[in-house]
Amino acid sequence: MANQTINGKAFEYALLIEFYERLDKITSVSITKNEPYKTAKGFFDSFDETEQDTFRITASASINFLLDIEPRLSYGISDKDILVLELVSDKAGQSGDVRDVLMIRSLQKWEIGISAKNNHRAVKHSRLSNKINFGEKWLGVSCSENYFNEVNPIFDMLADLRAKDKSTKWTSIENMHQVVYLPILDAFRKELLRLDKANPNIVAENLVQYLIGHQDFYKVIKGKRKVEIQAYNLHGTLNLPFEKVKPKAKIPKLKLPTRLIEIVYQENSTTTLLVSLNEGWQISFRIHNASSRVEPSLKFDINLVSAPHTLFTNHIFVNG
């Protein structure tokens, strides 16, 4: 399994354990010891004590802040109001939920979630192929026949290469960027613009929701000696008071975009498109091959380049 995944899961476990240890002293709290929990614990336990401490110290720093802005973490209605801490299966991400760690109070009909990232900012990794209708899958509106007519010859060529010899490497394709990446990106760009024109107000909003999910959440990004917390408060479910206890900082609501402004290539790049939307959203799509051997599909690394100025962000420096 990739180091990125192992580190990410270990960090999720550290967050869960730090939440539990902090909150157990002040409220009724329990951990759901499901499969994702066992997996994450296994990865966390595989690190030596020094590395475990680093995960925990970073997690602890973010939790200090989250407790200040989410009073419902600390306050229950009664002893029966149990705060349940839970790690989420990766499958949830495929259905539009990017949260990794959930904190749930059923009695209050309340929950918040965290997307935990370890030195890693990519929002999504999505595939393109001749079988994937990205319009339908991401945006709820189908791609045109023209799009598939443009991309199919390239994916068919890749399928033929693989059928002849499964060990064929991407590096064996001459002018690969011109022959593969650029035509696919051009077709993707054209189709995204067409979809937006044909479905005003829908595509821009759905694209952002596809990337960041349909639930409000905090993104906690573990860096080197620092942690960054971002609050994706699209629906106003974050930062709620508990009775008379108010959060110590205000998290503004984020506005979703309503239109696509432009799609351009990143300067001096044959692999990356920049998609600009209104309300201050900008997304980059970097195309790449997922493995060293040729296969009839490509992957996007999709990153949020900029978000509205109302995106609440806090940087915390960590000792240790």
Average pLDDT over residues 69-95: 88
pLDDT of residue 123: 73
- Distance, in Å, from the CA atom of 53 to the CA atom of 14, rounded to the nearest integer, reads 9
Phi, psi of 82 (to 5 degrees): -85, 130
- Structure token digits, residue 183: 């035509």
pLDDT of residue 94: 58
Residue 282 in this model has a pLDDT that exceeds 90 = yes
Per residue in 148-164, pLDDT (tens digit) is 999 999 999 999 999 99
User: Of the candidates 189, 168, 134, 120, which has an alpha carbon nearest to the alpha carbon of residue 289?
Assistant: 168
User: If DSSP codes are grouped into helix, strand and coil, which group holds residue 62?
Assistant: helix
- Distance, in Å, from the CA atom of 276 to the CA atom of 64, rounded to the nearest integer, reads 35
pLDDT of residue 304: 87
Instruction: Assign 228 a pLDDT band (cuts: 50, 70, 90).
Output: very high
If residue 288 lies in a helix (H) or strand (E), which one and from where to where?
strand 282-288
On whether the CB atoms of residues 88 and 102 are closer than 8 A, the answer is yes
Per residue in 119-140, pLDDT (tens digit) is 766 678 899 999 999 999 999 9
How do beta strands 226-232 and 29-31 pair? unpaired
On whether the CB atoms of residues 89 and 100 are closer than 8 A, the answer is no
Q: Residues, the chain, total?
A: 320
Average pLDDT, whole number, for the chain?
A: 93
Domain ranges of the chain: 3-121+214-255+310-317, 124-207+256-306
How many angstroms separate the Cα of 256 from the Cα of each of 141, 208, 212, 228?
18, 7, 11, 22
Instruction: Assign 202 a pLDDT band (cuts: 50, 70, 90).
Output: very high
Average pLDDT over residues 269-275: 97
pLDDT of residue 118: 81
- Structure token digits, residue 121: 């900012």
pLDDT of residue 266: 96
- Structure token digits, residue 14: 């550290």
Task: Look at phi and psi of residue 286 and say left if phi exceeds 0, alpha if psi is from -120 to 50, else beta.
Answer: beta
On whether the CB atoms of residues 108 and 72 are closer than 8 A, the answer is yes
Instruction: Assign 16 a pLDDT band (cuts: 50, 70, 90).
Output: very high
Residue 144 in this model has a pLDDT that exceeds 90 = yes
Per residue in 252-271, pLDDT (tens digit) is 999 999 999 999 999 999 99
Per residue in 19-62, pLDDT (tens digit) is 999 999 999 999 999 999 999 999 999 999 999 999 999 999 99
- Distance, in Å, from the CA atom of 265 to the CA atom of 188, rounded to the nearest integer, reads 12
Instruction: Assign 296 a pLDDT band (cuts: 50, 70, 90).
Output: very high
